[in-house]
Every structure is written in C-alpha cells, then in structure tokens.
Amino acid sequence: MIVDYECMLTTIDNPFDPFEQFTSWFLFDIEKGYNSCAYLARIARTSDQLSDEENNYEIERAIDEIMRYDFMNIYKKVKKKKEDSFSE
C-alpha cells in the first residue's frame, strides 16, 4: 500500500503546526504535560528493519489506536501530503 501523506499526533488545543512549527509545537505539548511524542513512541512498533513506508503505516496505526482510547478527546491526527523527494 503506497501512502502519499504523513501523519502526526497533536492535541486539539495546540495552536502550532507540528509539520511546519515543530519546535513551538513540541514546547507547547511538553508544557501542557501531554508528551505526545513519547506517548506515540510507546505505542508505535517501528523498527530500523522496516522500510520508511512500513514505519509510516505503523505510526498512523498507533495514532489511530491512541485516538480510539482517548476518553478525554484531546488528541487528533493531522495529515500532510508528502513532498516528492526527487527533483528534476
């Protein structure tokens, strides 16, 4: 399965774009005590043995799992179309 977008986990109250403003997004996330990156790292079963595509699929699966059990409804998934890595 070829996926042409990337996913990230964020919270509904974080005003920063995790793709374009990662440092500000991360500092807000840590300050509020969410620690979303660490939470995602605990749930996602990524590996150096997997391809980038397989790891991206696993990250999206983990985000979906986090959201499924999010009883406070604070998390959301944001997507961004992947940029072509080859230029002509």
Provide the pLDDT confidence category of residue 5 given band limits of 50, 70 and 90: confident
Q: In this structure, which amino acid lies at residue 7?
A: C
Total residue count of the chain as it appears in this document? 88
Given this model, what pLDDT does residue 2 score?
A: 58
pLDDT over 90 at 52, yes or no: no
Band of residue 82 on the pLDDT scale cut at 50, 70, 90: confident
Segment 8-46, tens digit of pLDDT: 999 999 999 999 999 999 999 999 999 999 999 999 999
How many C-beta atoms surround the C-beta of residue 66 within 10 A? 18
